[in-house]
Amino acid sequence: MKKLKNIAILMGGKSSEHEISMISGRNIFENIDRTLYNTILIGIDINGRWVLIDQKDFIQSPNRYKTLKSDNTKKGISINLGSDQPFFDQDSNMSLGKIDVIFPVLHGSYGEDGSVQGLFRLVNIPYVGCDIVGSAINIDKEIMKKILKEAKIKSAKYIAFHINDRHKITFEYVSKKLGLPLILKPSSCGSSVGVHKVNSKDEFEKALSDTFLYDNKILFEEFVIGQEVECAVMGNNKIKATTPGEVITNKKYNFYDYEAKYMDPNGAEILIPAKLDVKITNKVRKHSIKAYKALYAQGLSRVDSFVKKDGTVLLNEINTLPGFTSISMFPKLWGYEGISYSVLIKKLIDLAIDRQKYYDRLKTTF
């Protein structure tokens, strides 16, 4: 009998997207092929504490795991950087055993920004998703836009500010540069957390105060009128992109915000495939692959773009660890291509193992 690989699913996180990560983690856990893999569930609570999740409890008490909060009865997980089996359950003082691949279903800061990717490299365990460089580049929308410009890939016009320059930010300056309405967003958050559409000076000041709660650097962007389309992209060297899907936001919302995405079942209509002619569909796919390569993505990403009436494609952002909820575009788009949820998970795990071979071939002494 073939030995099963041990897959650690890492979810939660010290992030404004904690709850979405928990839902994504549950979906991975429920759809992973148990004839190929054993699973180990590791959670990061809202304060950043790592804990081992009991799988039976996870199945039987789903409401308890919507948000991970500190449990003083558990000691958590410790990490031994010099060990072949680096993760230890402090309650039992036992190793979690050999982990073949880590599947981090983490979104936003401390999960999608290169932080945990650096840890996985230190402990030399293969992991699903982009490496350190790709993760760090793409979490920061200002850095991402600078690289896109160098690669001659179009994106919305923008202005970036750090909180140290808060006193220099004026409605008059920004609106003159970008026009109205405009979009205000944290530079390094996802799921539309802290994002605002601004039409007036009053809205500008309120939005500015809120957005700086989530990041020390913010972006103002021109408001783009066009179709919102998304491509799922996968691969390390041989890269493939799906047919694009389209998000049509309910007219009661100003844009595709957090409530429309996750709270309101009627917040948006998802169309797969997107309402695009063949020429534009192919253009979006090529555009998505070009951006994926230019931005050092690996494993997987969801590439979001705008298509204007004249056929211009503007890249909005790239999500290096996109959602895996039941309504998330990444698995839905691959489902349209004929790849089931469980097969998709296997492909992503295989890509993680394949990339590790490139790390292992390198000399570390001279």
CATH number of the domain that residue 203 is part of: 3.30.1490.20
Determine, yes or no, domain membership for 133: no
Determine, yes or no, domain membership for 366: no
Q: Are residues 120 and 75 in the same domain?
A: yes
pLDDT at res. 259: 65
Q: Are residues 232 and 294 in the same domain?
A: yes
Determine, yes or no, domain membership for 191: yes
Of the three residues 222, 241, 260, the one that is the final residue of a domain is 222
Q: What are phi and psi of 9, to 5 degrees?
A: -95, 120
Determine, yes or no, domain membership for 325: yes
Sign of CA dihedral 14, 104, 19, 55: negative
Q: What is the pTM of this model?
A: 0.93
Q: Are residues 97 and 196 in the same domain?
A: no
Q: Are residues 57 and 19 in the same domain?
A: yes
Q: Are residues 286 and 143 in the same domain?
A: yes
Which regions of the chain are under pLDDT 70? 1, 72, 191, 254-255, 257-265
Length of the chain equals: 366
Determine, yes or no, domain membership for 189: yes
Q: Which residues of 161-181 are buried (b: 16+ CB within 10 A; e: fewer)?
A: beeeeeeebebeebbeebebb
The total domain count for the chain is: 3
CATH number of the domain at 109, please.
3.40.50.20
- 3-state class (DSSP) for residue 153: coil
Q: Are residues 230 and 316 in the same domain?
A: yes
Q: Are residues 301 and 332 in the same domain?
A: yes
Domain containing residue 274: 138-154+225-353
User: First and final CA of the chain: distance in angstroms?
Assistant: 41
Q: Are residues 235 and 291 in the same domain?
A: yes
C-alpha–C-alpha distance, residues 77 and 245, integer Å: 40
Determine, yes or no, domain membership for 360: no
276-320-188-281 Cα dihedral, nearest 10 degrees: -10
pLDDT at res. 283: 97
Q: Which two tokens stand for residue 29?
A: 């856990």
Determine, yes or no, domain membership for 63: yes
Q: Are residues 49 and 68 in the same domain?
A: yes
Q: Are residues 214 and 254 in the same domain?
A: no
Of the three residues 204, 222, 240, the one that is the final residue of a domain is 222
CATH number of the domain at 253, please.
3.30.470.20
Q: Are residues 114 and 197 in the same domain?
A: no
Q: Are residues 190 and 112 in the same domain?
A: no
pLDDT at res. 263: 65
Determine, yes or no, domain membership for 313: yes
Tell me which DSSP letter residue 2 carries. P
Of the three residues 201, 222, 243, the one that is the final residue of a domain is 222
pLDDT at res. 261: 66
C-alpha–C-alpha distance, residues 158 and 185, integer Å: 11
Contact 78, 88 (CB under 8 A): yes
